[in-house]
Structure 1
Amino acid sequence: MTTAILSALPEEQSTLVAHLAHPQRLMHAGRAFWRGELAGRAVVLALSGIGKVAAATTATALVERFGVARIVFTGVAGGLGDGVNVGDVVVAEDYLQHDMDASPLFPRWEVPGYARSRLACDADLSAILLEAAGACVASARGQFGFKPELLGAPAVTSHRAHHGLIASGDRFVCAADEAHRLRTTLQDAGHPALAVEMEGAAVAQVCHDYGIPFAAARTISDRADDTAHVDFPRFVQTVASRYAEHMVLTLMQKL
């Protein structure tokens, strides 16, 4: 059984490639895929690309070309929910496309043809990933030396792994008023999103179509506000890539 590890960032993929046993690089659909083994288990590593279309293409290639049996996604996101701080991790319970609006033909956010607005992640795979995320954030300061205040974010005494709804859309949310409007609009409609990013909902839809398990973990790099771009490269290099490495290796050992 082959597990696909989708990474949003090149730094995450390069870290994991370094751990691969018997690595083999293959090109398909203009993308690089790495075959090999992690913790003695068959994997395929790939970059999702930015945005929902690119992510859907990559996920489809993983299923059709490489025959993967499940997909796990790691990346970064902006925090929306209360208590979701920089340096925390959100493991998706389900996904919603916040820019999906086919009204008045369908209710806002409903995916046409699916009779629903939220697509669930696999409960069992997500539970293992949540456990791995919890272990990761518990050791964040001690193992990684991560201090969010050094990146201009508020200091927190401890980091948390959250489990809940993540919203995806083809827009980088980086203004405080936009983030507040998105959060409030979704919350009032019964969709309390914890984080926002640009790819996960598309991968969730592909996995739903093919009937394969999907799980995703997003490290919170910012609060999706006016400071979302500040020190982002440093965060990716010093925090997000290490989180991804820790979570994926722990996950593979537990599968």
Structure 2
Amino acid sequence: MHSLFCLRRFSFRSRFGWRAAASLAFSAFGLLGCAGPAPAPSHPPGAVAGVSVRLDATPRIAVMSAFEPELTLLLNRLQGPARHRINGVDFTTGTLQGKPVVLFLSGISMVNASMNTQLVLDRFNITHIVFSGIAGGVNPALHIGDVSVPAQWSQYLEVLMARETAPGRFTVPPRMAGQTLPPFGMLYPRPVETRTAASPAPVRKFWFEVDPRMLEVARGMGNIDLGACNAGVCLTHKPQLMVGGNGVSGQAFVDNAAFREYAFKTFQANVLDMETAAVGMVAYSNSVPYIAFRSLSDLAGGGEAANEMVTFMNIAADNSAKVLLAFLSAWK
């Protein structure tokens, strides 16, 4: 009854316009007074609406993979796990090889990787980022099961789609001349604009370097016993670790021999995937060191038969995880 009276009072004053500005203000005040207790805020106590709240203060290494099979071995080794769910993504804190970590899935694709890398940086106290997962092999010197640890990553599908001015001939707009690399048909790779707190003005950047100290630790890990068999499926060679060189990422699953050859020739890439360069760009923007371990599950269209990913995915995922575990053991 009291609330109904207040509503009628506001309606009466509004309808008949008594000194419009004053009466509207008074009526709004009356409504507030009649509304009863204010609803509880949706954000945690002490937090500011719209501002991310960190879930714990412990400095942690973010350990990420794109999809579940890549993270299985690592989750099984995690000590003292505690799970947090944010926007539907599970973040599991604990210790791995004696190091405080938070494990999670980036999701497949550049957009998912960018979004969830920023999410973990906003909600946890992240000191470093490490990525473990599978990839398509580009360098002919590498084999399925090998693990690549590139020194830098770029986006091969950050491109200009050029105009065809004659059959098979493409022309770049004059204002973009000098911003592109050799093309694959109409696709001309180009740098991406970046900003950081230290450099708020946009800067064009093509390669996102991994942390040199983390790379040096990876170089010094020595020989790691990588697996050649999983669930009755075996490789014909012993997998090896390669540290250094380049990696590239894009929004496509590549199973094309011509593009594989182009990626190696143009970028001197060892591997290509769908996430790491996006992680590298977010890490760069936030000034957080990162590194990625990628094991070849297939040859990105370079094999003689059908794509090999499904057959050798588990071997590759476990090998990448083994290298990451060795890295964490060596990391001081």
**By the TM > 0.5 criterion, same fold?**
yes
In structure 1, give the amino acid aligned to 2:106.
Answer: S
Change (3 A) 1:231 1:117: closer
TM-score by length of 1: 0.85
Larger displacement relative to structure 2 (175-184 or 59-68): 175-184
Detail structure 1 runs of 4+ shifted over 6 Å in the superposition: none
How far, CA to CA, are the matches of 1:43 and 1:232 in structure 2?
29
How far, CA to CA, are the matches of 2:74 and 2:261 in structure 1?
35
- Counterparts in 2 of 1:75-114, with a 5 A limit? 75-102=133-160, 104=173, 106=176, 107-108=179-180, 109-112=190-193, 113-114=202-203
How far, CA to CA, are the matches of 1:72 and 1:157 in structure 2?
25
Contact 1:91–1:130 (CA under 8 A) maintained in structure 2: no
RMSD of aligned C-alpha atoms? 2.3
Q: Does 1:48 align with 2:48?
A: no
How far, CA to CA, are the matches of 1:158 and 1:63 in structure 2?
33
Return the match for 2:263 from 157, 182, 207: 182
Change (3 A) 1:254 1:159: closer
Return the match for 1:118 from 200, 207, 223: 207
Deviation at 1:199? 0.5
Contact 2:106–2:116 (CA under 8 A) maintained in structure 1: yes
Secondary structure of 2:313 counterpart: helix
Deviation at 1:79? 1.3
CA deviation map 1:137-163 (0-9, x unaligned) = xx23xxx3449xx66x7x446634241
Q: Which residue pairs with 2:50 in the alignment?
A: none
In structure 2, give the amino acid aligned to 1:211.
Answer: S
Where structure 1 has 5 or more consecutive residues not aligned to the other structure, the ranges are none
Contact 2:228–2:239 (CA under 8 A) maintained in structure 1: no
Q: Does 1:19 align with 2:77?
A: yes
In structure 2, give the amino acid aligned to 1:175.
Answer: N
Return the match for 2:87 from 12, 29, 35: 29
TM-score by length of 2: 0.66
Secondary structure of 2:119 counterpart: helix
How far, CA to CA, are the matches of 1:131 and 1:76 in structure 2?
22
Q: Which residue pairs with 1:159 in the alignment?
A: 240
Highest RCO, 1 vs 2 (Cα 8 Å, sep ≥ 6): 1
Identity in percent:
26
Contact 1:29–1:61 (CA under 8 A) maintained in structure 2: no
Q: Which residue pairs with 1:249 in the alignment?
A: 325
Change (3 A) 1:229 1:2: farther
Deviation at 1:69? 0.8
How far, CA to CA, are the matches of 1:160 and 1:38 in structure 2?
21
In structure 2, give the amino acid aligned to 1:207.
Answer: A
Larger displacement relative to structure 2 (122-131 or 168-177): 122-131
Change (3 A) 1:233 1:223: closer
Contact 1:174–1:229 (CA under 8 A) maintained in structure 2: no
Q: Which residue pairs with 2:32 in the alignment?
A: none
Change (3 A) 1:41 1:158: closer
Contact 2:300–2:307 (CA under 8 A) maintained in structure 1: no
Q: Which residue pairs with 2:313 in the alignment?
A: 236
Q: Does 1:213 align with 2:213?
A: no
Deviation at 1:116? 2.2
Larger displacement relative to structure 2 (173-182 or 32-41): 173-182
Q: Which residue pairs with 1:198 in the alignment?
A: 274
How far, CA to CA, are the matches of 2:243 and 2:254 in structure 1?
20
CA deviation map 1:62-93 (0-9, x unaligned) = 11111211100011111112302112111021
In structure 1, give the amino acid aligned to 2:214.
Answer: L
CA deviation map 1:213-241 (0-9, x unaligned) = 0000110112111658645234222x123
Q: Does 1:66 align with 2:143?
A: no
Change (3 A) 1:158 1:97: closer
In structure 2, give the amino acid aligned to 1:122.
Answer: D
How far, CA to CA, are the matches of 1:231 and 1:79 in structure 2?
11
Contact 2:67–2:108 (CA under 8 A) maintained in structure 1: no
